[in-house]
A = this chain, B = another copy of it.
Amino acid sequence: MALSSRAHAFSVEALVGRPSKRKLRDPREEAQPELLEKDGGEEEERRSSAAAGRKSKLTEKRTKTGPLATTFGFNSFGSLEEKDIIQVELQGSELWKSFHDIGTEMIITKAGRRMFPSVRVKVKGLDPGKQYYVAIDVVPVDSKRYRYIYHSSQWMIAGNTDHSCITPRVYIHPDSPCSGETWMRQIISFDRVKLTNNEMDDKGHIILQSMHKYKPRVHVMKQDSRVDLSRIQSLPAEGVKTFSFKETEFTTVTAYQNQQITKLKIDRNPFAKGFRDPGRNRWKQQLIPSDL
């Protein structure tokens, strides 16, 4: 155990990984209505795998690969076909849950930092012959600023923030636009999205504030020949289906707070392989000039 000195003071409870506190906070959040969906009237259906029993008629076809989010076809597209029941299924939800159970943290930097895990989804119910855009954005979960308390390994509310005047940036999936057939045939990965705390960012990265809670949202929209969706910065008012998943919520940080998160990231992110234990601090020894 030779991880970051930043999270040096952690409780035994945090290391054992008892998920009780976190589980207790969830029901309250699930019950509260969507506060942030005023900008278009699109319906958002969130379904964690724990709530997978509802709407069995729609979930009959579910494979056991992961949680599923569904939006009913209330015809903002103008089409009445049964196929209008678009479903979006999160891939890699087990990994997301591993982080979520601890309290997911995502690093944000000036230059932009990828998410790990990244959002990857499968889409069903599209019209194979029609063209769609698929996009992602990240919206605040609440209006609170958080602070991590080391000795209790807990996130505490540390203040309020007004997000209401900020329109979140949208990252259009690079394959867009693309036929429904093609979208449905592949796993749609947003692994190249980058998060930044630089409000002046000009590289199209998603701008967030550190020490706040956010959730990614996936958007599916039929191609509209009237607007060039490929260059927009904000979502159109209608014709957009929006999906999100409880287990992808995270807190933004500029340096990891909870050492369990650091450990899990190092363990699962291929790019952090150099920090895995077995062969670690071997290079440190080479820096000591003792062979002379």
List residues of A whose CB falls within 8 A of some B CB.
131, 174, 177-179, 182, 225, 228, 230-231
Contacting pair A174 B177 (CB below 8 A): no
Q: Report the Cα distance A230→B174, complex, angstroms.
A: 12
The contact of A182 among B174, B177, B231, by CB within 8 Å, is B231
The contact of A228 among B131, B225, B228, by CB within 8 Å, is B131
| 10 A–B pairs (Cβ distance < 8 Å), ordered by A | A131-B228, A174-B174, A177-B177, A177-B230, A178-B230, A179-B228, A179-B230, A179-B231, A182-B231, A225-B225
Chain B residues with Cβ below 8 Å from A228 are 131, 179
Minimum CB distance partner of A176 in chain B: B230
Chain B residues with Cβ below 8 Å from A230 are 177-179
Q: Report the Cα distance A228→B231, complex, angstroms.
A: 19
Q: Report the Cα distance A131→B6, complex, angstroms.
A: 51
Q: Report the Cα distance A177→B177, complex, angstroms.
A: 8
Chain B residues with Cβ below 8 Å from A174 are 174
Chain B residues with Cβ below 8 Å from A182 are 231
Q: Report the Cα distance A231→B231, complex, angstroms.
A: 21
Chain B residues with Cβ below 8 Å from A131 are 228
Q: Report the Cα distance A225→B129, complex, angstroms.
A: 12
7 A-B pairs closest in CB distance: A179-B228, A225-B225, A178-B230, A182-B231, A179-B231, A131-B228, A174-B174
Q: Report the Cα distance A131→B226, complex, angstroms.
A: 11
Chain B residues with Cβ below 8 Å from A179 are 228, 230-231
- 7 further A-B contacts with Cβ under 8 Å, apart from A131-B228, A174-B174, A178-B230, are A177-B177, A177-B230, A179-B228, A179-B230, A179-B231, A182-B231, A225-B225
**Shortest beta-carbon distance, A79 to chain B, in Å?**
17
Q: Report the Cα distance A274→B179, complex, angstroms.
A: 43
Chain B residues with Cβ below 8 Å from A178 are 230
Q: Report the Cα distance A177→B228, complex, angstroms.
A: 10
Minimum CB distance partner of A230 in chain B: B178
Minimum CB distance partner of A129 in chain B: B228
**Shortest beta-carbon distance, A78 to chain B, in Å?**
17
Among A178, A225, A228, A231, residue most surrounded by chain B Cβ atoms (within 10 Å): A228
Minimum CB distance partner of A179 in chain B: B228
Q: Report the Cα distance A238→B43, complex, angstroms.
A: 42
Q: Report the Cα distance A225→B223, complex, angstroms.
A: 10
**Shortest beta-carbon distance, A42 to chain B, in Å?**
25
Q: Report the Cα distance A174→B174, complex, angstroms.
A: 8
Chain B residues with Cβ below 8 Å from A177 are 177, 230
